[in-house]
Structure 1
Amino acid sequence: MIDRKINVLVTGCGGDIGQSVGKILNSLDFIGSLYGCDISDKNAAKFIYDNFFIGLPCSDPNYLNNLHEFIIKYKIDFVIPISEPELRFFSKENINKIGLAPLVTASSEALKVGFDKLFTAEFLKKENLPFPVTHSIDSVKSIEKFPAILKSRTGSGSSTVSIVYDNASFISIKAKEKDFIVQEYLEGDNGEYTCGVFRSKDGLTRSIIIKRELMGGFTGYGEVIKNEEISTLLYQIAEKIDLIGSINVQLRLTIKGAVVFEINPRFSSTVRFRDLLGFKDVQWSLEDMMNISVSEYKETSIGKKIYKGFNEYIQ
């Protein structure tokens, strides 16, 4: 039971995930005032956040001071950073609160492992969990088995992912992309899965598994499924990474079983879908940080389908 309303600031709120988080927070009765900021106002977030303002990029030397002053002025209780540059900045600088306002993020080890795809594969290998064979691109002279995946070691989204079928293509990309990794192509006809995983401070772990189809780099269609092998793997990852908070795990079912190829240590683009399906990891994260029992989870969404739509706003 929450006996008071809280003020929340969402930074980097202009993108798809930030707008989804805003819609979720607007539905929670324990939110007092909701604030959102982004480095641009050319997005629909200003229609979702009643208190929207333009902020500074995290690369600006005044970024932290600017946020600190805002947090004090408007009595912000919690800050939810959404954009990856901000999350990487906070992780690198080991910042978990601004002033008296804690940051609502995944725990430090999850951030460290998830934001580096080479570290992700090395972590899985070290913990004796299924992993895709992965190397930094500068350590590979030629590829022996095709197809292979080339993608940014630290970037996100499918725009930086290439499937190569010959060494000429590999060498061409290698000459331009020094930050890339070379990763085993995970074969199998059982599809790709995006999974939400939440773990509280006392170790309560919950997950949801969505078999998805990508459209424009995002989950355009999906179906909630039940799979004990995947569930067990997700729980093992949460425990071994000492997770507190919410992450998104992407995997494929292959001939050698469920293999994770990315751990995104943040709320994902399916966060709104998950909330509507009862997997309320934004709400649970806030409840856990307020040191109250997280709300009940009723797993009643197996078989339900999700479809990505659009909203239009005119000003």
Structure 2
Amino acid sequence: MEEKTVLVTGIGGNVGQGVLRNIRDINWPIHIIGTNVEAFSAGNHLCDKTFMVPYAYDNDYIDFVKKIVEEEHVDLIIPTTDFEVYYLSLNANSINATIVACDASITNVYLDKYLSYKHHTSLNIPFVQSWLPSEFEGFEGDIIVKPRKGRGSRGITINPEDPKSYSDDYMIQPLHKGKEITTAIYIDKNKSLHGIFSMERQLQNGATNKCKTVNTFDNKLKEDIIFKMIDQEGIRGSLNLQYIVDNNQNIHLFEVNCRISGTNSIRHNLGFQDVKYILQEYLYQEKPSKVTKKEGVAIRLLYDVIYPDASTTSDLNNKSSNFKIY
């Protein structure tokens, strides 16, 4: 197998670190370049080389990426943060590497939860009712206010005293209660649904802490939502859907992420290996492996990357550094 170079963005976050671990686990001859907004991050020890880059929305971001691509002969870029997915997709024609992302028009819509609602409504695809604070006229029931472009559970408020006091950088939705489920889907190059993998989850600090596999709602999700989404032009690769299933078995979709999700490392070990599918299709031009899902339960834990005898972090930027996992 020919040696290739893959750039993984956002290696300071759980999504990027999961992608790195999955690539290492596959054990193919892949040289890994990692990027992050900080020079020293938790993903450094999994990379062959790392670079600090600006935030994706900064004017210099694309130029930084282009320089890395040219100097390191990068073949493939896997973006792992929402903003990087959008800006890399928007500038894909000027970057000399394959970028695994949906079209910019799609990533822009799903970068903004209110635009996601408007988009789905226009296509008759279910999505939770949403309002801007300026247009909100009240709702008989619990509500949640959240940033339109926020991630995780940052900045949310439940049942605020004055919902209309928020700017239109926020949005309002009914607070549906029930099972929270995260579903990953992989759409192959032929625009076909290659696989689906769902997990009921519990959150801690906005990210999955505990989860278990569930497939009870997959068929309904495919018929009502996923196949309609795939009918759009420009959707490809791994996407993530987040929704609540209430006591009446109704699905309330409230977020779509146009990227690999943070549970990718768990899925990888339970037979849904979307990072591997990406490498097969976009790096080696092969058909993705068959999905072989297993049932399972997972819990996240905290561990340490320790660099004995290090007095500065300036040189701790790749897997060659002396470190211990504990």
Using structure 1 for the length normalisation, give the TM-score: 0.87
2:155 aligns with 160
Q: Residue 115 of structure 2: which of 112, 116, 119 is its match?
A: 119
Distance 1:269 1:309 in 2: 14
Distance 2:110 2:232 in 1: 10
Q: Residue 223 of structure 2: which of 219, 232, 245 is its match?
A: 232
Contact 1:106 1:247 in 2 (8 A): no
Deviation at 1:29, TM superposition (A): 3.3
- Residue pairs, 1:131-170, within 5 angstroms: 131-140=127-136, 142-164=137-159, 169-170=160-161
1:287 aligns with 280
Q: Residue 263 of structure 1: which of 235, 256, 278 is its match?
A: 256
Give the 3 Å change call, closer, same or farther, for CA 31–112 of structure 1 in structure 2: farther
Distance 2:221 2:80 in 1: 26
Residue 180 (structure 1) aligned with residue 175 (structure 2): no
1:296 aligns with 290
Deviation at 1:50, TM superposition (A): 2.8
Deviations 1:167-189 (A, max 9, x none): xx342x543443111112224x4
Deviation at 1:67, TM superposition (A): 2.0
Larger relative CO (CA 8 A, sep 6+): 1 or 2? 2
Distance 1:230 1:6 in 2: 36
Deviation at 1:5, TM superposition (A): 2.3
Distance 1:26 1:211 in 2: 27
Contact 1:14 1:41 in 2 (8 A): no
Deviations 1:37-90 (A, max 9, x none): 212134211112131222233344333223222211211101122223322323
Distance 2:268 2:138 in 1: 42
Deviation at 1:231, TM superposition (A): 4.1
Q: Residue 103 of structure 1: which of 96, 99, 104 is its match?
A: 99
Distance 1:117 1:237 in 2: 18
**3-state DSSP class of the match of 2:209?**
strand
**3-state DSSP class of the match of 2:34?**
strand
Deviation at 1:133, TM superposition (A): 1.3
Deviations 1:237-260 (A, max 9, x none): 442344211111001113372121
**3-state DSSP class of the match of 2:306?**
coil
Deviation at 1:111, TM superposition (A): 1.2
Bigger shift: residues 257-266 or 240-249: 240-249
Contact 2:133 2:164 in 1 (8 A): yes
Aligned-pair RMSD on alpha carbons? 2.1
**Structure 1 unaligned regions, length at least 5:** none
Give the 3 Å change call, closer, same or farther, for CA 245–260 of structure 1 in structure 2: same
1:86 aligns with 84
Deviation at 1:161, TM superposition (A): 2.0
2:191 aligns with 203
Using structure 2 for the length normalisation, give the TM-score: 0.85
Deviations 1:149-202 (A, max 9, x none): 2111122111122211xxxx342x543443111112224x4x110000110111
Give the 3 Å change call, closer, same or farther, for CA 179–269 of structure 1 in structure 2: same
2:322 aligns with none
Deviation at 1:296, TM superposition (A): 1.6
Deviations 1:101-127 (A, max 9, x none): 011223445413311211222233233
Contact 1:134 1:182 in 2 (8 A): yes
Q: Percent identity?
A: 22
Which contiguous aligned blocks of 4+ residues in structure 1 show a shift greater than 6 angstroms? none
Give the 3 Å change call, closer, same or farther, for CA 170–180 of structure 1 in structure 2: farther
The alignment of Structure 1 onto Structure 2 pairs a total of residues equal to: 301
1:77 aligns with 75
Give the 3 Å change call, closer, same or farther, for CA 121–218 of structure 1 in structure 2: same
Contact 1:107 1:245 in 2 (8 A): no
Give the 3 Å change call, closer, same or farther, for CA 282–151 of structure 1 in structure 2: same
